[in-house]
């Protein structure tokens, strides 16, 4: 139960941070990506702050073996840059640029009733389903 409460609190703080930083406004995101038009560099500060916090958080995490709630801490170990990573990153970037949303802000925006967010989230879920079906098919074919 304490895990669910902490997950809720962390999610709530994350969502509030997304709203306050403007990350839930597709127009602000697209303005940031419009380098040769009406460029809005303010999200660079948001991203820079997130990267800075991430650097310190991962440095701290590397020194620990358990989470703050006592569970085992498992950090990713793979450093492979393969076709799947590159294609996935490209798809993420194109989707972000076209829609002005990425998954976290889209879910927060869905909670605030934005119709564009509902379309994005439905498309995201459809993409996740297609990926899972493709993975299962690939695994079945590989097992033969």
The Cα diameter of the chain in Å comes to 54
**Cα–Cα distance, 124 to 107 (Å, whole number):** 10
What confidence score (pLDDT) does residue 112 get? 86
- The residue ranges of the chain whose pLDDT is under 70 are 143-144
CA angle at 143 for the pair 139 and 144, rounded to the nearest 5°: 125
Q: Please, which residues have CB within 8 angstroms of residue 122's CB and are 6 or more apart in sequence?
A: none
Q: Name the phi and psi angles at 102, rounded to 5.
A: -125, 170
pTM beyond 0.85: no
Q: Please, which residues have CB within 8 angstroms of residue 75's CB and are 6 or more apart in sequence?
A: 58, 61, 62
| Strand partners of residue 72 | 66
* Pair 43, 17: CB distance under 8 Å: no
Place of tokens 């802000």: 105
What confidence score (pLDDT) does residue 123 get? 92
């Amino acid at each position: 139960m304490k895990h669910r409460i902490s997950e809720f609190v962390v999610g709530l703080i994350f969502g509030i941070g997304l709203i306050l930083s403007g990350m839930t406004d597709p127009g602000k995101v697209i303005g940031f990506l419009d380098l040769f038009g009406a460029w809005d560099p303010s999200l660079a500060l948001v991203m820079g702050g997130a990267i800075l916090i991430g650097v310190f958080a991962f440095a701290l995490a590397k020194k620990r073996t358990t989470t703050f709630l006592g569970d085992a801490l498992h950090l990713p170990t793979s450093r492979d840059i393969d076709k799947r990573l590159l294609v996935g990153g490209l798809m993420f970037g194109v989707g972000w640029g076209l829609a002005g949303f990425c998954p976290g802000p889209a879910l927060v925006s869905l909670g605030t009733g934005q119709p564009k967010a509902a379309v994005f989230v439905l498309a995201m879920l459809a993409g996740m389903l297609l990926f899972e079906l493709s993975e299962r098919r690939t695994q079945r074919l590989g097992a033969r």
